[in-house]
Amino acid sequence: MSDFDDVYARHAGGVLRFAWRLVGRRDVAEDLTAEAFLSLHQHWSSVEAAQLPGWLFTVVRNKAIDYWRRRTVEERYAQTLPTEPSTPPMDVPIEMAVIEHPALKPVHRVCLRLRYGHGMTVAEVARATGLSDTQVKGLLQYSRQILRRELVREPR
C-alpha cells in the first residue's frame, strides 16, 4: 500500500461526498470522514490497497448508521423533556439564596458570584481574585459539592 498521505489525498474528497450524502450535514460528514481515515491509520498494516476506497466507504456507512441511531434516541429523549423548567417559588432569588448559604466560606461566595453571577470565565475569576486557575477550579468544585450536600434532598 502506498503512503498514507497519498491515500488520503486520493480518496478524501470522494469519502466526504459519500458521507455528506448519507447524513445531509457537512459538519457531521467531515467528522465521519475524519473517523474513517483515523480508523484506516489505526488498521494501516491490515488493509490492502485493493480494498480502498471500499474499505473507507464501509467505515463511513457504519459510522453514519451509528449517527442516525444516536440522533433518533436523542430526539426521542428531547420529546420527553418538559417545555418549561419548573422553579420553586422563593422570596429571595435562587442565586442569592445559594450564594449566601451559611455553609460557604467567603472565598467560595466570591468565586461563585463572579463565575455564575457575573458570567466570568475561570481565568477571569483567577485574575480578579489573585488566585490561580487551579485554585479557582477547586474552590468552585468544592462549593458545588457543599451546595449539593446542603440543598439537594434525596428522595426516601
- Whole-number pLDDT of residue 100: 74
Total domains in the chain come to: 2
- Tens of pLDDT, residue by residue over 74-107, are 888 888 776 665 554 544 455 566 677 778 888 8
17: cell is 461526498
Report if residue 109 sits inside a domain: yes
Q: Domain with 121 in it: what CATH number? A: 1.10.10.10
- Whether 22 has a pLDDT exceeding 90, the answer reads yes
126: cell is 483567577
DSSP 143-154: HHHHHHHHHPPP
* Cα dihedral across residues 10, 15, 21, 27: positive or negative: negative
- Whole-number pLDDT of residue 151: 77
Claim to verify: residue 59 and residue 104 sit in the same structural domain: no
Domain interval for residue 67: 4-80
- Whole-number pLDDT of residue 92: 45
Report if residue 156 sits inside a domain: no
Claim to verify: residue 37 and residue 12 sit in the same structural domain: yes
Claim to verify: residue 9 and residue 74 sit in the same structural domain: yes
Last residue of a domain, one of 32, 52, 80: 80
Q: What is the pTM of this model?
A: 0.51
Claim to verify: residue 106 and residue 72 sit in the same structural domain: no
- Residues near 48 by Cβ (< 8 Å), separated by ≥ 6? 1
- Whole-number pLDDT of residue 86: 53
Claim to verify: residue 14 and residue 38 sit in the same structural domain: yes
Q: What mean pLDDT value characterizes the chain?
A: 84
Q: Domain with 70 in it: what CATH number? A: 1.10.1740
- Residues near 63 by Cβ (< 8 Å), separated by ≥ 6? 19, 32, 35, 36
Task: Using alpha carbons, list the distances in angstroms from residue 144 to 63, 99, 113, 124, 156.
Answer: 37, 10, 12, 19, 22
* Range with top average pLDDT, 22-26, 44-48, 99-103, 111-115: 22-26
Last residue of a domain, one of 80, 103, 130: 80
Please compute the mean of the pLDDT values over residues 9-31 and round it to a whole number.
94
- Tens of pLDDT, residue by residue over 142-151, are 988 888 887 7
Report if residue 21 sits inside a domain: yes
The whole-angstrom separation of Cα 140 and Cα 54 is 50
